[in-house]
Structure 1
Amino acid sequence: MKAQTNTPKLNAKYYPLHKIDVHDIRQMYGIYSQYYENTSWDIFLRDLSKKTGAFILTCPKEQRIVGFSTIVTSDLMVKGEKARAVFSGDTIIERAYWGSRALQVAFYKFVVLEKARHPRQTLYWLLISKGFKTYLLLANNFTTYYPNPSNTHGYLADVVDDYCQQMFADYYDAEKRVLDFGHDYQCLKGDVAEIDDTLRHQNRKIRFFEECNPEWRRGTELPCVGVLDLENLGKYVLKYLSKASSKGRRDALNVEPQTTSRAEVHPLRAPVLVSPIQRRA
């Protein structure tokens, strides 16, 4: 019998931090703690408190949160010039819902509005990737980004250097262009986003990610940047409309889910994508 590949319908909406209630935050941590090692409620809460808000994904059928992506909007100085930045923090979606495009649509609407508010400033998407799936969100949807396996847009390395020095100065290795928060930093659990020989052979972007961030398994992060201009936003839409199926959904169906039954989930748990602003105390 052929496996069903349709992803359950999700709703995704951006909420400013002050509009996310305690019940939702507990659900978010519940998801987060299922997929990350070396974490705790305190670490998660401290990190979330530094964000501007979050995209929250809910399943209408189950009436619960099944994923989220935290975000910070801020001004950024790049070579002495003022720019605008959208920084993506932690992003986690439960495996059963991999392949949903609800988050991409919500994110697109958000950055279009952000660009409209700051039409004269360059708008950058900043993200740090401890796993290849986060990196592919950038590499598969934008043409102007860094680091790039085609060795293009090298001028954006200056943007990476500037924002890492401004946001993560104590943890940035400028020579390797990676963020190293130490051996006790949050890292993905072993079976969440493993890179095997098949993936390395079939996907050069995944292979490139691992070359740039060879110690990703222990939680080192690859800082990345994309340009959110009209050209890239237009191509983002075209790629979204042209995708006939979701590889993320197929991957989820082909891998035994690493989840905890709802009865075993701690009442303070839920999904997120971790940002390294706070280390373990």
Structure 2
Amino acid sequence: MRRLTFHRPSELSKGMRDAMWAVVLLAVRGSREEFERGVNKMDEIWLLEVDGVVMGFGGVRLFHPEWRGRKCCVIFTGRVCLHPSVRGNSILQRIGFRYYMQRLKANPLRRIYWMFGAGSFKSYLLLPRNFHTYWPRPGAELPARERALLDAVAREFDDPLYRPGASVMSHPGLVYVDGGIGVNPDDLRDADVAFYSRVNPGQPRGDDLVCLCPLTQANWAACLGRALLRAVRPRPRTLTSSTDSRS
């Protein structure tokens, strides 16, 4: 039986953190200290348990940057990892929609964005596989408003590890091997993977590509439509090299 629970970082027991770290080790090479530091920077941690065993988790932190006197809401996610056995079930999309609805009810007129650091190409693929508008993407320049919001949140959350010129957060203490570029050259045949590789060549050294997605009705409609298509079509070739977003 699956169970989803939500906790403040201070409420996580050592046993919970050990179970989370065990899932991380399936995908990451790195430092537990670095991992714990990121967990403790979150407002809330969700845990996915299957038959009492932690099989996935993620962190969420809310930011409210301003653009020309108007506040926006940025839902920042990080320290996200799923066990291979529970991937591919739109778990992250459903959890994301929960947080979106909370913020929409709190302030219906405020722009809402999703932001994360893609520590692997599989993390980045959440965007082109689900949404229509997001950044970075091929042929699309980040607009001034979104650039200002992204920079403000990234600096507040991860300064001095954020490099604005490259839109990268550097975490050399945590490197994703699962979903890492260069692990299997065949992965680069996918156009979205090839794009990620070009714009984030430092991924093997722990660089996370900072991504931003406006949570509009049009984007959610695209996400729902693609989820329905996946439900009725056979799965495509599996990329050899898990969905994760770090930071």
Determine if the TM-score, normalized by the shorter chain, exceeds 0.5: yes
Give the TM-score taking structure 2 as reference length.
0.84
Matched residue of 1:37: which SS? strand
* Structure-1 residue corresponding to 2:101: 112
Alpha-carbon contact 2:65-2:149 (below 8 Å) kept: no
- Cα distance per residue 1:168-209 (max 9 Å; x no partner): 33223222222234xx421113xx1144332222x2111111
Is 1:102 the equivalent of 2:91? yes
* Structure-2 residue corresponding to 1:209: 196
Identity of aligned residues (%): 19
Taking a change above 3 Å as real, the CA distance of residues 11 and 237 of structure 1, as seen in their structure-2 partners, is farther
> Matched residues in 1 for 2:90 and 2:120: separation?
19
Matched residue of 1:145: which SS? coil
Matched residue of 2:127: which SS? helix
Alpha-carbon contact 1:12-1:102 (below 8 Å) kept: no
Corresponding letter in the other structure for 2:39: L
Tell me which moved more, 99-108 or 120-129: 99-108
Taking a change above 3 Å as real, the CA distance of residues 150 and 57 of structure 1, as seen in their structure-2 partners, is farther
Cα displacement (A) at 1:221: 1.1
> Matched residues in 2 for 1:28 and 1:112: separation?
26
Alignment map for 1:117-136 (pairs within 5 Å): 117-136=106-125
Alpha-carbon contact 2:208-2:246 (below 8 Å) kept: no
Matched residue of 2:223: which SS? helix
Matched residue of 1:108: which SS? helix
Taking a change above 3 Å as real, the CA distance of residues 178 and 154 of structure 1, as seen in their structure-2 partners, is same
- Which of 182, 197, 203 aligns to 2:185? It is 197
Taking a change above 3 Å as real, the CA distance of residues 10 and 120 of structure 1, as seen in their structure-2 partners, is same
Alpha-carbon contact 1:90-1:272 (below 8 Å) kept: yes
* Structure-1 residue corresponding to 2:59: 70
- Cα distance per residue 1:244-276 (max 9 Å; x no partner): 35759x638x78x9xxxxxxxxxxxxx98531x
Flag structure 1 segments of 5+ consecutive residues without an equivalent: 1-8, 258-270, 276-281
- Which of 152, 157, 169 aligns to 1:162? It is 152
Matched residue of 2:71: which SS? strand
Is 1:28 the equivalent of 2:20? yes
Alignment map for 1:1-281 (pairs within 5 Å): 10-17=2-9, 20-40=12-32, 42-60=33-51, 63-151=52-140, 154-155=143-144, 156-181=146-171, 184-189=172-177, 192-195=178-181, 196-201=184-189, 203-244=190-231, 247=235, 251=238, 273-275=245-247
- Cα distance per residue 1:87-123 (max 9 Å; x no partner): 0101111223332323322222221222221212111
Taking a change above 3 Å as real, the CA distance of residues 32 and 152 of structure 1, as seen in their structure-2 partners, is same
Give the TM-score taking structure 1 as reference length.
0.75
Taking a change above 3 Å as real, the CA distance of residues 117 and 161 of structure 1, as seen in their structure-2 partners, is same
Matched residue of 2:166: which SS? coil
> Matched residues in 2 for 1:135 and 1:99: separation?
14
Matched residue of 2:64: which SS? strand
Corresponding letter in the other structure for 1:97: V
Tell me which moved more, 238-247 or 221-230: 238-247
Corresponding letter in the other structure for 1:161: D
> Matched residues in 1 for 2:21 and 2:133: separation?
33
Larger Rg: 1
Q: Which structure has the higher relative contact order (CA within 8 Å, separation 6+)? A: 1
Q: State the superposition RMSD in angstroms.
A: 2.8
- Cα distance per residue 1:136-173 (max 9 Å; x no partner): 11222121211112425544333322322333332232
Cα displacement (A) at 1:75: 1.6
Flag structure 2 segments of 5+ consecutive residues without an equivalent: none
